[in-house]
Structure 1
């Protein structure tokens, strides 16, 4: 497979209330602030070699600054930039040394709907550690799900330009196809696309060590009074656990574990009817999938469409 993108690196969010957001991700969500400066913070997951997995930036507008992916080599970065340029994709920047923590070599471009995407290689790894039994801290950023008013076209765009492959699709008999799970490696999904009236972040998901740690983390957030959207439960597509919460700015964030790894040579995508309760939650422990749950994850329309972040 000649895929140039290897994995998900980080998701970068801009928020009006920076201090409250930083306190949430540090004190409750349990990410580690690696580098903080006035109005910007780089937050790492304890078990991940990535320099950071969430970047927070103070801004008057709530927006997704960018979603970042890794590539194998600087040559792969150049090859992808050349391919995208040839295909008429708008490059925000050309391949060059990165000034963010860990450095590296990368570039940025707009996807079909104007999200800023970064692809990089040769980023220095962070001193990370094995998360121990009972520690309810994120091991890594698992996946990012984005909302789209034209999801079929967006799925085709990520397939054509970035070689993301479809793992599974969710549908309902009265609404049609609603969510597409896309992979850039054997993990069931690093990116997913949900149907929504507007462009926005659906959720960012963080992997915990195992079921016990995932439940402890879920319980910590419940005890702290963080608004739970959906969970705890276990999805059928991806076979992963889920507990969805709202951060202080109304973004949905998820604790998960045990996301399925696929044999890409033999995998065939399934079409799952999510009105079947066992598709949404195999365990039957989560609150039912409802209009409330769906609307909470619609989020506010993204204010950063076709506007590259200043940093």
Structure 2
């Protein structure tokens, strides 16, 4: 098993131009719960997750990924990671210290190779959560985050070298070459994936539902609410997880998923899948075809916050 100090994905923080409209979507349609709210700032929890929140919304003129946050096992591990990154010339946004966000904890922030702000934290208080019951079509947890990168090979190398991410699988196209890399920090097939894109931006954030029935019920609920569906429902080959992709009011792609594969890290060997084969994109054959329209919608707007730390 790889030697790594990061344990899991905590949350993704988004700056959006219309906080009220986004909040109505994520609470009234998507199924998240507002736990901590201030003017233009909301922390949204998943009912089944011990994390204090899985999405943070901040109102801003600049649409951006404010932050991608990962957990570490201890304060000592946080200090070790911060020291290693600084010695390697990675630009720290904050030094390790006590966090002022819900749940407290101890952490620090830094810029990745393309300027996204990343946080590593430990000792965050566990949120009181519950088991999601049969038939409840609300998110259990934040499953993974996928980012678009103008330099995906460099971005993959950054996360492998500095944070000990491991490659699970790769998607390629006969004409375009390698296009997406699925990266893990634990036994889940991926917590982060990197897509080749025209600019750095959010590709999508994915939320795990309880099971297949809940996943389909959730997909149907979002469709009935009139939310624009981009792709799905279907089941990917890489990761073996289900997918339904929708656009939130700010044009960010959000996914419902379930049954993401867990791996034996000691024996796993990465595959290279040709996604021009329909069964790679969707094993079931139930989703609309992956085409240029679908791909372009997931390019998203260029991230306007690169190498600029969020104010909160």
Pick the TM interval, shorter chain.
over 0.9
Q: Give the drift of 1:120.
A: 0.0
Q: Post-superposition shift, 1:260? A: 0.2
What do residues 35-73 of structure 1 show as CA deviations (whole Å, max 9, x unaligned)? 011010000000000000000001111111000000000
- Please tell me the root mean square deviation across aligned C-alpha atoms, in Å: 0.4
CA distance in structure 2 between the aligned counterparts of 1:153 and 1:310, rounded to whole angstroms: 27
Structure 2 match to 1:149? 150
Q: Which residue of 2 aligns with 1:7?
A: 8
After superposition, give the CA deviation of every residue in 1:61-118 in whole Å (9 maximum; x if it has no partner).
1111000000000000000000000100000000000000000000000000000000
The corresponding residue for 1:42 is: 43
What TM-score results when the alignment is normalised by the length of structure 1? Answer: 1.00
Report what 2:287 is aligned to.
286
In the alignment, which residue of structure 2 is the partner of 1:54? 55
| Structure 1: stretches of 5+ with no match in the other structure | none
Structure 2 counterparts to residues 1-311 of structure 1, below 5 A:
1-311=2-312
CA distance in 1, matches of 2:45, 2:158: 30
Query: 1:205 and 1:293 mapped to 2: Cα distance?
Result: 16
Partners of 1:37 and 1:160 lie apart in 2 by: 37
Map Cα deviations across residues 210-242 of structure 1 (whole Å, 9 max, x no partner).
000000000001111100000000000000000
* Inter-partner Cα distance in structure 1 for 2:301 and 2:154: 21
**Equivalent position SS for 2:156:** helix
Q: Where in structure 2 are there 5+ consecutive unaligned residues?
A: none
SS at match of 1:56: strand
Give the drift of 1:2: 2.2
Q: Write the distance in 1 (CA, Å) between the matches of 2:188 and 2:16.
A: 30
Deviation at 1:22, TM superposition (A): 0.5
Runs of 4+ in structure 1 deviating by more than 6 angstroms, as ranges, are none
Three-state SS of the structure 2 residue aligned to 1:120 is strand
Aligned counterparts of 1:286 and 1:18: Cα–Cα separation in 2:
31
Mapped partners of 1:19, 1:224: distance in 2: 17
Alpha-carbon displacement from aligned partner over 1:255-301 (angstroms, at most 9, x marks no partner) = 00000000000000000000000000000000001001100000000
Mapped partners of 1:265, 1:308: distance in 2: 37
CA distance in 2, matches of 1:224, 1:41: 22
Distance 1:221 1:32 in 2: 16
Q: How many residues align?
A: 311
Calculate the TM-score normalised by the size of structure 2: 0.99
**Structure 2 CA distance for aligned equivalents of residues 178 and 276 of structure 1:** 14
